[in-house]
Amino acid sequence: MFYTIDILGTIAFAISGVLVAMGKKMDLFGILIIAFVTAVGGGTLRDLLIGNTPVFWMEDMTYSYIIIASSVFAIVFRNKINYLRTSLFLFDTIGIGLYTVVGIEKGINAELHPIICVALGTMSACFGGVIRDILCNEIPVIFRKEIYATACILGGVTYFLLSELPIEDNIVFVVAGVVVITTRLLAVKFKIALPTIYRE
């Protein structure tokens, strides 16, 4: 079940990488790299910071296969992919929900402080997109206008609040993920964004 969600998230992230890379007129190799980095970049950074090496996608080939297949699909159907926009948005949103909670649990296993665990969860979910934007020479979009990281942080806080209560671990896991997903969906539906801040 979690594995299925993980795969859906990976598909959505890889395709978002392909779309951004095509917008920059990259060649086939560039597109594949951007797809890969978008899909696994956040988890890779998490694993490096904890010291969990070789990093996760080196030891489970499923990620590589999914990313390559999704990229080929997105390239072939590039002029029709708009029809899938809603599905991709949903996959992506469900993906960040899962990645956030998985990142938190990796932090807990490494016996890190709750705040650091929430940071790791957010990083797992968001930094693939950050690295994608840096490689494409853009200021990362999540630093500017999306309730994306904020959703992950809220989910992370929920996780630790609930785990203080006598609730089963699986339920905590699911509820925290659902908080991430719901926050993001509501923010997009009602066009809520964090304020940008600048000096007068």
Show contacts with its own copies in window 119-158 (CB under 8 A).
Answer: 119, 130, 134-140, 142-145, 149-150
Tokens in use for 54? 């070789």
| Minimum distance of its own copies from residue 84's CB (angstroms) | 13
Q: Which of 64, 58, 77, 94 is nearest to 19 (CA)?
A: 77
CA torsion through residues 25, 30, 36, 42, sign: negative
Query: How many CA atoms are closer than 13 Å to the CA of 99, on its beta-carbon side?
Result: 37
Q: Which is nearer to its own copies, 24 or 171 (CB)?
A: 24
* Site pattern 35..74 for its own copies (x: CB under 8 A): ---------x---xxxx-xxx-xxx-x--x----------
193 is a contact residue toward its own copies (CB under 8 A)? yes
Contact flag: residue 85 with its own copies (CB under 8 A): no
**Binding residue for its own copies (CB under 8 A) from 20, 31, 104, 181?**
31
With beta carbons less than 8 A apart as the criterion, state whether 122 and 43 touch.
Answer: no
Distance, in Å, from the CA atom of 189 to the CA atom of 197, rounded to the nearest integer, reads 23
CB-based contacts of 75, cutoff 8 Å, min separation 6: 18, 22, 28, 31
In angstroms, what CA-CA distances link 141 with 24, 78, 176?
15, 22, 24
By CB under 8 A, residue 5 contacts its own copies: no
Report if residue 94 touches its own copies, rule: CB under 8 A. no
Query: Which CB sits closer to its own copies, 57 or 159?
Result: 57
Neighbours of 116 (CB within 10 A): 15
Per CB under 8 A, does 78 bind its own copies?
yes
- Which positions lie near its own copies, rule CB under 8 A? 21-31, 33-34, 44, 48-51, 53-55, 57-59, 61, 64, 75, 78-79, 110, 112-113, 115-116, 119, 130, 134-140, 142-145, 149-150, 193-200
